[in-house]
Structure 1
Amino acid sequence: MPTEEREPVDVFRRSGGRLREALDPDLKREFYPGPWEHMRHELVAIHAFDKAHCLMPGEEGIIPRDIGRQLLRGLREMEQHDMLEARRSVGASHHSGELWLTQRLGEAVAGWLHVGRSSGDLGAVAWSITARAKVVDVWERVLALRAALLRLASEHTDTLMPGYSGAQHAQPITFGFYLHSWEEALGRDTERLEQVFRRLNRSPAGAAIMTGSDFPLNRHRVGDLLGYGELRTNCHDAIFHWDPLVETASGLTLLMANVSRIADDFHLWATHEFAMADLPDRYCITSSIMPQKKNPWSTVFIRGQSARVQGRMGSILAMTRTRQDEFDPHVIVPWELWEMAEAVLPALDFTVGTLTTLRVNRARMEEQAGAHWATATDLAATLVRKAGVPWRTAHQITAVIVRVAHERNIRPGELTSAMIDEAASAYGAPAIGLDDDTLRRALDPREFIARRRTVGGPASETLRHQLSVSERVLHRDQAARSDVTRRLEEAARRLESGIDAALA
């Protein structure tokens, strides 16, 4: 006798059919269909697919029209009962719609819902629509972050600060120039999100388990009702090749690497030693034992979320080593991706919040901009122009100057022409004979910035031009994201209008 199964996990996986025993309850909870915290992400997509797949077969004459109407009415009744809770009450699997309808309408009606479908395309639709929605949400946050960076950069095109290389003073830059560099990086993140959206937006619906169906399914109709822009035209590829999910995870990992590095900088700059930035109290905590402490906390959260995302990326990549027809990646890779997206969204929100409320210590930044011989590059360049010595010779003379200055505790503002000649002599070169004004201008950090008018340089007019270009690119990207949202909303309205017409 088969094991009694009071709550079957699915309409097809029942004891007494192909299998004699009920599914182990622990396996049911952990892996089939799995934990609610994972399955809840996919049920909105499954519900839309159930409705589209009820509508299309009725239109094509695959199922009796009256049966199609009963199924559609049942799915709308589910929405009145709270769709997610209704599906959760029957196990929350991809087949929860059929199971819920079977309890109310019987198998004679609900048993038609799955005609021409498989768990394969149910899963592929679930993960592609869900991942598509997650990408759109992340895309919106990235655009908001880019807008915040551009606004702040435009306020600081002339705010001097030190640029760092290997955690050492390198060359003077401006805070606006620094911020714009991150906007450029996030622009590439936006491009990756837009590209992966296009690949996720190809419909696997109707591919069944690998060969499609012998029922005359209208795959284009279902894809259109679900907002897909194209079809995945090889049914085997549509089911067993999930590289768009890996690509989505990769894009999120790169994005969070960038965001984490931004947080890293501001976390460091908020220390007393740097004192170049101060986070508002709302983004900080204090100590239970050290009353003087003000610990930046939003930056800690952002960096931690990046680490979580990177860890799940490793898990996903490990899954790619399975044979192409195995099932575990189809279940676990989406779950890992949903967790990644859940980590990314609040991190982006806190990054925007931190940036837009940040207090910048302009005086401290400018004080440090030319410190520690950060303008030595232009001193060497001045030797090339004024003395006509080769660049390498000028570079080495300047290196001697800096070494001797450190040994004698001489600051850049205390350097004299005689000391330059001394260094030149030590290197075996003739005296340079720089006048005081030329020496002062060579070492001035603001002059250093002004001289860098090349494309991509930090000079104020150059940076302002580039910021205006980036504003136009941002507006274009915002329009692209708005167009995507509009098309998805239009598809959702087409689906509901089609159901209205079928029920009229």
Structure 2
Amino acid sequence: MVTKLVEFHHVKLEQLDFDPYIGDVYNNRDEILKQHIGDLAGYIHIGRARREASTISWQLCCREKITGLIKQVVNLISSFETVCKSHKSTYMSDFTYLQHAQPTTLEHYLLTFVMPLTRDLERLKTALQFVNKSPAGSGSVNGSQLNIDREYLADLLGFDGLVEHTRDAMWAPDMVLDIMTPVISIMTTLDRLSEEFIIWGSKEFDYIDFSDQTSRTSVIMPQKKNPYGLAYIRGQARSLTGVFMSLISTNQTISGQPDNRIFAYYEVPRALDYVITCVDLFNDVLTQSTFNKKQLNAAAGEGFTYSTDICDMLIMETNLDNRSVHKIVGLAVRQCIDNHTSELTLDDIYQAAQKLDISLPKINPDKFAQNIDPKSIVNNRQGIGSANPEAIQTMYININSAIQNTVGYVDSLQLESFEQSFFTKLAK
């Protein structure tokens, strides 16, 4: 019987001759299986509804895809690290509201997007823990009087334990949300940076040049190289958000209805496939693009990005309160703008303080110069998570620890293929 089951397992769906009169796919496969192994086929679905077989298949499928997604996210984080470390000395202006904010490095800026990906690994690990619990042997809703060893079935299928409550095992609507949450989170991170890269690639910014492999030319305008890969990722992120909302809605029906599973069986595995594709595509965009160091470095000091550091320096050097020095530097910047000058001087600070009738002691010119230099500003950043090189090195250690935590868990499961975990064990 086991040999016949293995043979039947290798028969492709399109090779089967379905008869609408028999009913749906499940009933047709049952009838075809009967032709292969005879009346013994009638025992296979004893004590279980068709929903159990579908749920088991769905969880096995999702388990495989989640582990695949974990691998892709780890690869992307590794690529981010490589790119980041090559730009330790690439200075740039950080942005808020798409306006120049403070000097930073491209390394620190890009790590912004690595951190949520490391948290997504933890989310994927949690989703894997949930989906890796067996629903088998639940007897449809409230168990069965048949002596079904649910733990034995879980072991045959390679699951790590049970979804204990038999009715919950057949519906578990939160499992869908647990899987889709990291999917949406990952796509949100990719979407945000894709959007920024598209802007950075414009002539107005000229911070990044995309490879030909991840771009395409305009059909009508031969001079254009469009970041098509990023546009696809951005569109897919929005599309999957719609799928997520749909799955939430179909899981809000009265319990014991098929609505949630009808759509989850199809939409969740497909969503996992899409995000795997997008992570892989973004990896290519990231590793094959070239950042314009000269343009980024030039922008690091533009737009009076050092103003906050001048304020901090004045607080430490003069003991003035923050609001007072904020007014001084703000007025000094306004005067520069009005005078069409692009760089703040110590004289501008003195003049602004005098106009505001604020007594300002003499400032060390070297101190002032140090606080308008992007490199010095970055190196002077203090505290955990800052752009200071030592703080960044600690973050790399924590990132790799998060990777090892998730990868170690996946490796500990020793997940096997369906055939290895079921047919081989059953044959023993």
For Structure 1 versus Structure 2, the TM-score category normalised by the shorter chain is: over 0.9
How large is the RMSD of aligned CA atoms in angstroms? Answer: 2.0
1:141, CA displacement in angstroms?
0.9
Asked if the contact 2:55/2:135 (under 8 Å) is kept, the reply is yes
Point out which structure has higher relative CO (alpha carbons under 8 A, 6+ apart).
2
Q: Which residue of 2 aligns with 1:451?
A: 380
Distance (whole Å) between structure 1 residues aligned to residue 231 and residue 181 of structure 2: 22
TM-score, normalised to structure 1, is 0.80
From 475, 487, 498, the counterpart of 2:404: 475
Flag the 1:333–1:496 CA change in 2: closer, same or farther, 3 A.
closer
Instruction: Write the mapping of 1:42-81 to structure 2, written as runs, cut at 5 A.
Output: 69=1, 72-80=2-10
From 338, 348, 351, the counterpart of 2:279: 348
Question: Whose radius of gyration is greater, 1 or 2?
Answer: 1
Aligned-pair identity in percent equals 24
Asked if the contact 1:147/1:474 (under 8 Å) is kept, the reply is no
Distance (whole Å) between structure 2 residues aligned to residue 366 and residue 263 of structure 1: 21
**Large movers: runs of 4+ above 6 Å:** none
Q: Which residue of 2 aligns with 1:99?
A: 31
1:472, CA displacement in angstroms?
3.6
Question: Is 1:151 aligned with 2:78?
Answer: no
Distance (whole Å) between structure 2 residues aligned to residue 452 and residue 94 of structure 1: 63
Instruction: Write the mapping of 1:326-475 to structure 2, written as runs, cut at 5 A.
Output: 326-412=257-343, 415-475=344-404
Q: Which residue of 1 aligns with 2:71?
A: 140
Higher mean C-alpha deviation, range 179-188 or range 97-106:
97-106
3-state SS of 2:387 partner: coil
Distance (whole Å) between structure 1 residues aligned to residue 61 and residue 19 of structure 2: 21
1:79, CA displacement in angstroms?
3.8
Residues 375-424 of structure 1: CA deviation (Å, up to 9, x unaligned):
10001111112222111111111111111211111112xx3322211111
Asked if the contact 2:121/2:402 (under 8 Å) is kept, the reply is no
Instruction: Write the mapping of 1:108-187 to structure 2, written as runs, cut at 5 A.
Output: 108-187=39-118
3-state SS of 1:172 partner: strand
Residues 452-497 of structure 1: CA deviation (Å, up to 9, x unaligned):
131111112321232233234323433333333x2335x7535233
Flag the 1:123–1:379 CA change in 2: closer, same or farther, 3 A.
same
Counterpart residue identity of residue 101, structure 1: L
1:87, CA displacement in angstroms?
5.2
Asked if the contact 1:378/1:443 (under 8 Å) is kept, the reply is yes
Higher mean C-alpha deviation, range 127-136 or range 254-263:
127-136
Flag the 1:292–1:255 CA change in 2: closer, same or farther, 3 A.
same
Flag the 1:123–1:242 CA change in 2: closer, same or farther, 3 A.
farther
Paired residue total: 425
Flag the 1:336–1:195 CA change in 2: closer, same or farther, 3 A.
same
Higher mean C-alpha deviation, range 419-428 or range 389-398:
419-428
Q: Which residue of 1 aligns with 2:423?
A: 496
1:309, CA displacement in angstroms?
0.7
Q: Which residue of 2 aligns with 1:14?
A: none
Asked if the contact 1:75/1:97 (under 8 Å) is kept, the reply is no
Counterpart residue identity of residue 142, structure 2: T
Distance (whole Å) between structure 2 residues aligned to residue 172 and residue 236 of structure 1: 57
Flag the 1:96–1:86 CA change in 2: closer, same or farther, 3 A.
farther
3-state SS of 2:88 partner: coil
Distance (whole Å) between structure 2 residues aligned to residue 87 and residue 157 of structure 1: 59
The answer for unaligned runs of 5 or more in structure 2 is: none
3-state SS of 1:272 partner: coil
Asked if the contact 1:160/1:446 (under 8 Å) is kept, the reply is yes
Asked if the contact 1:78/1:86 (under 8 Å) is kept, the reply is no
The answer for unaligned runs of 5 or more in structure 1 is: 1-68
Counterpart residue identity of residue 488, structure 1: E
Higher mean C-alpha deviation, range 189-198 or range 328-337:
328-337
Distance (whole Å) between structure 1 residues aligned to residue 17 and residue 388 of structure 2: 59
Flag the 1:472–1:246 CA change in 2: closer, same or farther, 3 A.
closer
Residues 105-158 of structure 1: CA deviation (Å, up to 9, x unaligned):
44x332222111112322321222222222112111111111111111122222
